[in-house]
Amino acid sequence: MNRIVLVGTSHHIAPLDFRERMAFPELQLPEAFRSLKEDYGARETVILSTCNRVEIYATTSANGGSAAFSNFLATYHQLDPQQLHKFTYSHQDLNAILHLFKVTASLDSMVVGEPQILGQVKEAYDQSMSAGATGTILNRLFAKAISVGKRVRSETNIGSGAVSISYVAVELAKKIFPSLEDKTIAIIGAGEMSELTAQHLVENGASKVIVANRTYERAVKIAEKFNGVPLAYDSDLSFLVEADIVISSTNAPHYLIRRQSLAAIMKKRKHRYMFLIDIAVPRDIDPEVSKVDNAFLYNIDDLEAVIASNLEERQREAGLAAQIVEEEAAKFHSQLQVFEVNPLIKALHQQFQQVASKELSVCLNRAGLSPKQQKLVRSMTQSIIKKLLHQPTKNLRQVALNPDSAGAVNDISGDHVQYVQALQELFALENADDVETENSAES
């Protein structure tokens, strides 16, 4: 029998410097896979390594556990075992499956509902599979995990609503303008958040960027990133006549844009819509500006209120996602147990068939029966085999599906692994750990 084991760390329990030391660069993965298999008893392996988490998923023997893979991490990354124990976690079997499904559903992410993790899991799986590190169990597990992640995103709104300042700006802009194509962005100041917001707006269709900054060289540097127009900022706001979207983030001690001056600019614009984003503290734009016709002003508090509302909605959706994940994990775990006992059932049937075939050959050669009589005897023998093995087969599959209820089946032990091992020993069956690829754990 196989055991699924997970050992890992994440942003939930480990600081960045520890996660950096635990990371696996792509070029190191083949050697890590080799070592896990040859030195630490892993049968199959997937390594998920991102900026927020490093996790090793592996299959091992029924007697195997997480200690070997913790030792691998300590040795491979030259980490202090006590520090490793403090900043890592481990799960086995159903809990390992459940954790992976939560990860792919973005329930374990720093920002619940973020979409990147599903692609990162798929990439990690593809890398492991390409290196020959996976096998039947992890192939099935990761294919199902990716499927569950997609199901969560399609059946819940866990990924809806922007949860960063820059994305909220894009979301609001799309509500104000039918399309962002051919829209002009004016950046006042050259802060990182302004630049990131402009980048997302450009990615969503905005075509022209004007950068106004008191330090002209800084304006040039930012404008070059967008093939934009740099300006040396002064109190003349005439450049705003062209602007459909204004992003302001300076250290000015007073308002840079006031109601009266913007009203004059809007008149020159023939009152075409203008979206103003004030992410400066203290504010750059007079709140009275919002009273100018067709001027839509949002400050940092407004944007953060939208984020808080979106996060609250995601948390509500996370409850629905968690139900899907838990149901899918329990279902997959049960199916996997049946899948793993199928080779043992097949071996048991083959053994009975071989014994019966051998004895029938001897008997029929001596009995001098007609072909019709021989067919009848063979049919009766097959019927006896099926009836003899029906209840053991049924019990084995039932115990695999629901170990906790195994005691109700002729007082069988609740540990189906022990049951399997006993059956192997009683009938001297071959090791049934190598499962067949054509059987499905998801049917």
Residue 209's pLDDT is: 97
Residue 34 shares a structural domain with residue 133: yes
Task: At 411, give phi and psi (nearest 5°).
Answer: 55, 35
Residue 121 shares a structural domain with residue 265: no
How many Cβ atoms from other residues are within 10 Å of residue 229's Cβ?
Answer: 17
Peptide bond connecting 371 to the previous residue in cis, omega within 30 degrees of 0: no
- pTM for the whole thing? 0.69
Into how many domains does the chain fold? 3
Residue 174 shares a structural domain with residue 193: yes
Residue 193 shares a structural domain with residue 230: yes
Query: Which residue segment(s) compose the domain that 400 sits in?
Result: 342-426
Residue 90 shares a structural domain with residue 200: no
Report yes or no: 280 and 189 within 8 Å, Cβ to Cβ. Answer: yes
Residue 375 shares a structural domain with residue 256: no
Residue 86 is which amino acid?
K
Kindly give the interhelix angle for 136-155 and 300-367, rounded to the nearest 10 degrees: 140
Residue 210's pLDDT is: 97
Give the tens place of pLDDT for each residue, 247-303: 999 988 999 999 999 999 999 999 999 999 999 988 999 999 999 999 999 999 999
Residue 113 shares a structural domain with residue 201: no
Residues 337-366 as b or e (16 or more Cβ within 10 Å = b): bbbbbbbbbebbeeebeeeeeeeeeeeeee
Q: What is the DSSP string of 300-330?
A: HHHHHHHHHHHHHHHHHHHHHHHHHHHHHHH
Asked whether residue 385 is assigned to any structural domain, the reply reads yes
Asked whether residue 443 is assigned to any structural domain, the reply reads no
Give the tens place of pLDDT for each residue, 386-423: 888 888 777 777 766 665 544 433 433 345 667 767 77
Residue 226's pLDDT is: 95
The catalytic residue among 16, 51, 330, 355 is 51
Residue 190's pLDDT is: 78
Residue 84's pLDDT is: 94
Report yes or no: 210 and 243 within 8 Å, Cβ to Cβ. Answer: yes
Report yes or no: 118 and 149 within 8 Å, Cβ to Cβ. Answer: yes
pLDDT beneath 70, residues of the chain: 1, 62, 399-417, 420, 430-443
Q: Is 32 buried (19+), middle (13-18) or exposed (0-12) by CB count in 10 A? A: buried
**Residue 43: closest CA among 134, 106, 167:** 134
Which residues make Cβ contacts (< 8 Å) with residue 329, sequence separation at least 6? 94, 97, 98, 101
Asked whether residue 237 is assigned to any structural domain, the reply reads yes
Residue 21 is which amino acid?
R
Domain edge (last residue) among 228, 259, 293: 293
Residue 280 shares a structural domain with residue 220: yes
| CATH number for position 17 | 3.30.460.30
Asked whether residue 309 is assigned to any structural domain, the reply reads no
Residue 69's pLDDT is: 96
Residue 7 shares a structural domain with residue 147: yes
Q: Annotated catalytic, 363?
A: no
Which element (helix H / strand E) includes 5? Answer: strand 2-10
Asked whether residue 173 is assigned to any structural domain, the reply reads yes
Q: Is 127 buried (19+), middle (13-18) or exposed (0-12) by CB count in 10 A? A: buried
Residue 176 shares a structural domain with residue 80: no
Asked whether residue 332 is assigned to any structural domain, the reply reads no
Asked whether residue 314 is assigned to any structural domain, the reply reads no
Residue 111 shares a structural domain with residue 7: yes
Give the alpha-carbon dihedral of 340, 9, 154, 337, to 10 degrees.
10
Asked whether residue 205 is assigned to any structural domain, the reply reads yes
Domain edge (last residue) among 127, 155, 183: 155
Residue 415's pLDDT is: 56
Residue 433's pLDDT is: 47
**Residue 427: closest CA among 400, 393, 402:** 393
Residue 219 shares a structural domain with residue 136: no
Residue 115's pLDDT is: 87
| CATH number for position 229 | 3.40.50.720
Residue 417's pLDDT is: 63
Residue 346's pLDDT is: 80
Domain edge (last residue) among 269, 293, 317: 293
Q: How far apart are CA 122 and CA 48, in angstroms?
A: 9
